[in-house]
Amino acid sequence: MSIARFAAPAPSDGIAFVGGQYVPLAEACIAITDRGFVRSDATYDVVHVWKGRFFRLSDHIERFHASMAGLRMSLPYSRKEIADILHECVRRSGLRDAYVQMTCTRGVPPLGSRDPRECENQFSAFAQRFVWIANEQQRREGLSMIVSSHQRIPPEAIDPRIKNFHWLDLTMGIFEAYDRGALVAVLPDRDGNVTEGAGFNVFIVKNGVLATPDHGVFEGMTRRTVIELAEELQQPVEVRPVSTAELRAANEIFLTSTAGGVMPVTTLDGKTVGDGQPGPLTRRLHDFYWQRHDELLLSTPIDYAI
């Protein structure tokens, strides 16, 4: 009888840092009783590597620390030590374009305890191949989106500015998008205003003015970058409530995400947005965003030769 042989994972399949050690991503694991797993009691952040350079690494780590503080978590790692761990995950993987996640879970409580204060918070990180929300053709020609019938979890319950794993509402939106022949879904709040979708923020353009929701959303790093770029271009930008009616009347719609940058939406609820092509401001911000990755001010090179 022949014995099945499985090839060892290649470094390019991903490298993780768990329990103080670097391991192949496929072999990384956390305790099944960690509250991060059984209670979604965790926070995380995602930074990307493009052409061998981290983009806004220090900003992502700073936001990660702010999220931990918001959840009353702490780690025995300094900001520099976390940066070094992320660099090492990417270096060991050899990946030039990578999706890199850092996570803090509450940890395992003592047997019989429900007291989160008794847990030792746990840190893990990994690097894997760059993740895209949409494929190349969809990013070039435009995505199809729906306004979901599912409401976003209100910020009064869970502060979305703290990156978290409470994704069931977003996941139901994904299923609904697929059921309705679309790729992505944006969720409204209880007042009928636009919030966000699974891993992305939303922008609209109407009468030359750019707008993005100010409430009930995760304040994404790509969102922040686009707002900064718009100001540099002297493009009017408003951070305010955006109704679903405004969304449907927009001349241009685009999404922003670490997993894709600036992505045009050309179909909403089965209807054409604008002229059915990515709009001029969307294209301009898309190009400017990726050009910004080459600037030393916001990008950090990785030394793969260490």
- Catalytic positions are 163
Instruction: Answer yes or no: are the C-beta atoms of 233 and 284 closer than 8 Å.
Output: yes
Q: Give the rounded distance of the alpha carbon of 232 from its chain centre.
A: 24
The dihedral of CA 81, 82, 85, 87: what is its sign?
negative
Taking CA atoms, 53 is separated from 24, 97, 193, 211, in Å, by 22, 8, 36, 30
**If DSSP codes are grouped into helix, strand and coil, which group holds residue 262?**
strand
- Please give the full DSSP string across 89-113, using - where no structure is assigned: HHHHHT-SSEEEEEEEE--PPPTT-
Return d(Cα 193, Cα 207) in angstroms, integer: 19
Instruction: Answer yes or no: are the C-beta atoms of 295 and 52 closer than 8 Å.
Output: no
Contacts 24+ apart (CB under 8 A), 162-168: 162/43, 162/66, 162/67, 162/70, 162/71, 163/43, 163/44, 163/45, 163/63, 163/64, 163/67, 163/218, 164/40, 164/42, 164/43, 164/44, 164/67, 165/36, 165/40, 165/42, 165/44, 166/40, 167/198
What does the block give as tokens for 275? 């002229």
